[in-house]
Structure 1
Amino acid sequence: MQSSFSSLSNVLAPGDLRRVHHIALNVKDMQASRHFYGTILGLHELTGEEVPTTLKELVAQGKVANFVTPDGTILDLFWQPELLPPDPDPERTFTRAYHLAFDIDPQLFDAAVEVIKQNHLEIAHGPVTRPTGRGVYFYDPDGFMIEIRCDPE
């Protein structure tokens, strides 16, 4: 598919951007974050030859971990041991990013809420039911809000 972007234009046309390539998060405790995203949320951690060549050295040094979401988006975790929390009050959200939402089959939603509770993760809101579906909001180890949501049944 030929891009409709033109050097004569000052905007990108719909379809020029193909997909979200990756999401990068700074994390204070790499082990806690790897456990959270890999074990609790069940995202696949890239290892060995799966790691992008440009990140192999940082991954080997323990400074970066890469996960892939079910839709293929890469989640990069960058170790920042001096990372300050966004705010001492978890009700005050990040100024630029609000949350990262994962979709789940409606039949699995209640089980996901139970996993959150069993892992003693702090629930920020919910579970809530809206016309758009159900959702539960909770925090990752660095205080970033995560949502698990589903469409209405």
Structure 2
Amino acid sequence: MKAKLLKPLLEVSTFNEIEIYYKRPIFNQNRIVKNSKDSERLLRAFIDDKRIDYKEFFWVMLLSNANQVIGISEIAMGNTSSVPVNIKEIHQLTLLANASAIIVAHNHPSGKLSPSESDKSLTKKLKNTSKLFDVTLLDHLILTSEDFISFSDNHWI
């Protein structure tokens, strides 16, 4: 009896290697965040102030171990009363930028500065998940066109 050659059950396929590329910004050219007012000033320079009363937006500021700003990114755009935030995307940016700390912010088009239960819940979740990556959530700011409030200044973080 002749033996039949069986085709392999699985075909061999190739996968692309994931490459991570990071170039540290020039050390003495980065802005340093020392307090919530610094964060607010840098965020306001980044965001479009014509949209702040229009709908909610969510931003993340990425910082080095020396609290130097590596970058700022707009994570999400919502509607007049909420913004969906993908925590996974925040952590992806944090890891790709090799950030040691983050500051998050969003705006309230209503002008009301007090945080909602959803804002508090998100902050707690983000603080806990950031610890898994040895990243510190330094603050969560709520901005309006006139003012801002800081979770850190109010000991909510």
Task: Calculate the TM-score normalised by the size of structure 2.
Answer: 0.26
Give the structure with the higher percent strand.
Answer: 1
Task: Answer with 1 or 2: which has the greater Rg.
Answer: 2
Task: Calculate the TM-score normalised by the size of structure 1.
Answer: 0.26
